[in-house]
Amino acid sequence: MSQGKYQGKRLSATDVTRLYAAGERDFRGAVLRGCNFRGADLSGADFSGADIRSARFVEATLRGVNFSHARAGLQRRWMIGQLVLVVILAALAGFLQGFAGALIGVLLTEGTSEELIAGLAGLLVFGVTFWAIARQGFTLRALGSVAFAVAVAVAFAVAVAGAVAFAVAVAGAGAVAFAVAFAFAVAFAGAFAFAVAFAFAVAFAVAVAFAVAFAVAVAVAVAVAVAVASLLLGVYLNRRIHRYDPRFENLRIIGLAFAALGGTSFSGADLTETTVAQATLKSTNFADFHQRSTILTHVRWHQAQQLDRARLGTANLQDLRVRQLLTTLNGIDQNLSNADLRGANLAGAKLHRANLTGANLSGATLQNAELQGAILTEANCVGTDFTAAQITGACLEAWNYDDTTILQAIDCQYVFLKAQPNALGWRERLPHNPDKCFAPGDFEKYFREVLDEVRLLIRGGVDPQAFKTAFQALMENHAIVPGDVRSISRRDGDVLIDVAIPDGAAKPEVARTFDSAYETALPAATAQALLEAERRSKQDIIQLANRSIDSISSVLSNLTIHNTAMNHSQNPNVSTGDGSFYAGGDVNLSGSTINLGEISGQVSNQINQIPATATAEQPSLKDILTQLQAAVETDSELSDDEKAEALQAVGRLAAAGTAPQPDDKTKGLVKRATATLKGMAETLTDASKLATACKTLLPKLASLFALV
């Protein structure tokens, strides 16, 4: 790390803010111990390698600040103060151990029968308290167990013996356990390991002193036993805290809050896109300030030191899995299911085969991340940046993404849409053909296409006339044409229609336009029939839905393009009066049955309108489309419906060929038409005529329209 102009120089908060206001941003290596930057705006400053121990950045704006290699935490005077307090706590715990143990020993051996009962009750409370904390942790459940034991012991002792000394014994027992727990938690957070030995030494000394005073040898033994038990409890607690046992999380938080007193504080600060890579963060406070949250979006934590000794408040860093992932960027084969990774900076992270099921990655950055084989089932990826991420083999079942999700330069050969294979052993691989892989850009195109469409739901079947009226409303209000219909499917008697929408179109408005027009145009008789159908048996509903699907399939199968997209934009929609209508002179939407001869004739007319090729070297678009048309018409593997759909695609290509100069709309039309033909060809055998023709002719079409 290079040195800055203020390397090793002591600067005050006033100096820094004054220099910052004058345009200075380089404060590398500066000594800023104890400086108070409360509420200051230091965005973009470079404090790498700086000494910021005990500095206060409370409610400061620190967007994009560089704190890499900085040294945060406590100044020496604060460390000494904490040390003194730990010693006092350890001494108190030791005193209580010695006093309570010696007192119980005296009551058990030298007292009256009432005092003997008091001693036994105190010993019982000791045992229950130590057991409850060790077994149940420092939780409300453990406190409840201790309270119950104390209540029972008090009731028994008072009822039987009325022992006055019992209150002292019981109070000492409970106080010892909780004093030991607190002292060891503080010792863990401050790394004051000697406090353990100190507490034991004090306990032993006090026990001996009381035993000598009472001249009772048994008291020494009981006191030493209590001290040893307390020591073992403390060591056990320290070990559990170090292993992040959730039962002792409250103790860890208490200890960290104590250790952060006087340390570097970022409470309530805005640390968006700040880096603390390789910084030392022990005794640093990131907890919220009053009701203002500390903003930790896109903070770079890579190789941050002693982050587990910082006070993290309610941040997602409380999760050990998240903390380790952000500091190591290594999540290979890790279980990160349901992890809260909102706004996390995981650029370049290694997440091979990581289980991110249900993880919240909203707003996170995963640029250049390695996600090969990762499971993103039901993961929230809204606003996530996947630029240049490697996603080959990842499972994207039901993942949640939208147009704010950044999918650019993705490195992906294939993905799966199912986490578990079905009865046939398939996991819904994309591309579906196992012999094919995504070409560069295919992944983005596939998943962006889903974002560029709106799904229309028609319940209980389709009224063809109402559908045509509603679709015409879409064409008039949102520039949608029948060729934008991507799929039609049945779902439990209902119909789902996926329609591509132009750039800038609002999905809610498109759906509202369609629904409103459809409901308005739905004849009263049809509406009544649908209501009656809902009362029929399940089989009747299925039959009605099938008939409705047949109607709409027939409607959409006869969509034919007559003119160019330019003519569409210039001519208004007109009714033909025979049950069909034209959209700007481009499309004939008819409810009649399929007539392949008529469709073929229309396609031939469109092909004949294509201008002659300018040079002999340039392949003839007319010849290419004629060959495609012939392949479609003579392919025995295609049904009539499929032939009609393929001929429509050829017709759209012919319409595009009549355009004087290909523009974005024309190219979009060509892309959709070629995608239709390519998709159909992939479902056919290699020997089919359409598959053979597409293999040789579609690349030529792409070249003609400058798509490659």
**Phi, psi for 216 (deg, rounded to 5):** -125, 115
Comparing 1-22+30-75+263-314 with 319-451, is the CATH topology the same?
yes
User: What is the Cα–Cα distance from 588 to 644, expressed in whole angstroms?
Assistant: 13
What is the structure's pLDDT at 560? 36
Quote the pLDDT of residue 680.
Answer: 83
- Examine the pLDDT at 646 and tell me if it is beyond 90: no
What ranges do the domains of the chain cover? Answer: 1-22+30-75+263-314, 83-254, 319-451, 457-547, 596-704
pTM exceeds 0.75, yes or no? no
> Once rounded to an integer, what is the mean pLDDT over residues 388-393?
96
Number of helices and strands in the chain (H, E)? 20, 9
Domain 319-451: homologous superfamily in CATH: E3 ubiquitin-protein ligase SopA (2.160.20.80)
Percentage of the chain surpassing pLDDT 70? 72
The total of other beta-carbon atoms located within 10 Å of residue 88's CB is 11
- In CATH terms, the fold of domain 1-22+30-75+263-314 is Pectate Lyase C-like (2.160.20)
Do you find a cis peptide bond into 523, omega within 30 degrees of 0? no
Q: Enumerate residues 6+ apart whose C-beta is below 8 A from 554.
A: 591, 592, 593, 594
Q: What is the pLDDT of residue 72?
A: 95
**Confidence at residue 356, expressed as pLDDT on a 0 to 100 scale:** 97
CA angle 317, 49, 367 (to 5 degrees): 50
Task: Give me the pLDDT at residue 434, please.
Answer: 85
Distance CA(241)–CA(251), nearest Å, equals 8
Q: Pick the most confident of 282-291, 338-347, 498-507, 639-648.
A: 338-347
What DSSP string runs through 67-87?
A: -TT-B-S--HHHHHHHHHHHH
Rounded to whole angstroms, how far apart are CA atoms 18 and 14? Answer: 6
- How far apart are the C-alpha atoms of 460 and 463, rounded to whole Å? 10
Find all residues with CB under 8 Å of 675, minimum gap 6, and list them.
none
Q: Is the pLDDT of residue 33 over 90?
A: yes
330 has a pLDDT exceeding 50:
yes
pLDDT digits (tens, 9 = 90+) for 129-142: 777 777 777 666 66
Q: Which of 313, 208, 198, 218 is nearest to 260 (CA)?
A: 313
pLDDT in tens, 113-125: 766 777 777 777 7
Q: C-alpha distances in angstroms, 226 versus 126, 178, 205, 221, 237?
A: 8, 14, 13, 9, 16
**Radius of gyration in angstroms for the set of CA atoms belonging to the chain, rounded to a whole number:** 38
Average per-residue pLDDT for the chain: 77
pLDDT at 10 over 90: yes
- Residue 588's pLDDT band (cuts 50, 70, 90): very low
Residues 83-115 pLDDT 10s: 777 777 767 766 766 677 777 777 777 666 766
Q: Which helix (H) or strand (E) holds 477?
A: helix 464-478
Q: Which two tokens stand for residue 44?
A: 């973009």
Please, what is the angle between helix 664-682 and helix 640-657, to 10°?
150
pLDDT at 532 over 80: no
Q: Which of 71-85, 384-398, 570-584 comes out lowest in average pLDDT? A: 570-584
d(CA 449, CA 285): 45
Q: What is the DSSP string of 565-583?
A: HHHHHHS--EE-SSS-EES
The edge-to-edge listing of strands for the beta sheet with 581-582 is 560-561, 587-589, 581-582, 574-575
Give the mean model confidence (pLDDT) for residues 689-695.
Answer: 87
Residue 582 confidence (pLDDT): 31
Report the pLDDT value the prediction gives residue 516, as an integer from 0 to 100.
87
Q: How would you class 69 by CB atoms within 10 Å of its CB: exposed for 0-12, middle for 13-18, buried for 19 or more? A: buried
